[in-house]
Amino acid sequence: MISKTEVSASYRHISLKILEKFPKVLERVSFELGQQKSQFRISMQTPVENPLMTIESFNRQFQIGEQGRDAVEWGWNQEAGDTMFNEVNAYTRAVQIDALSAEASYRLQKVGGAILGMVK
């Protein structure tokens, strides 16, 4: 799943600069992975009363087109359940449809990540 992170470091060559910053970068990555793990755990414990209605709402909120909606419906059929975890998985599973363009697949992955990010 694609999820936005705030960790970025780009260096053209190995230098003392990267060696100085590397521990901080690893610390930040570790922190963000811990947050995502926590969000997955919470999503598995967060019930959804009407999952299909919730997916329709997310589709409107994220302006998912017809092809994307069809893909998410297919993904939902693979990942059906009554938790936010299942909602997120419907979007990330949807990208496995071969007919989707790379851009559409990337967008659905980002939507899945954004939905996971909403879980508190």
Walk along the chain (120 residues) in steps of 10 and give the mean pLDDT of each run. 58 73 88 87 94 97 96 95 96 94 94 91
- pLDDT value, residue 36: 84
Strand partners, 61: none
3-state secondary structure of 120: coil
pTM of the model: 0.75
| Backbone angles phi and psi of 83, in degrees to 5 | -130, 165
Domain ranges within the chain, ordered by starting residue: 13-120
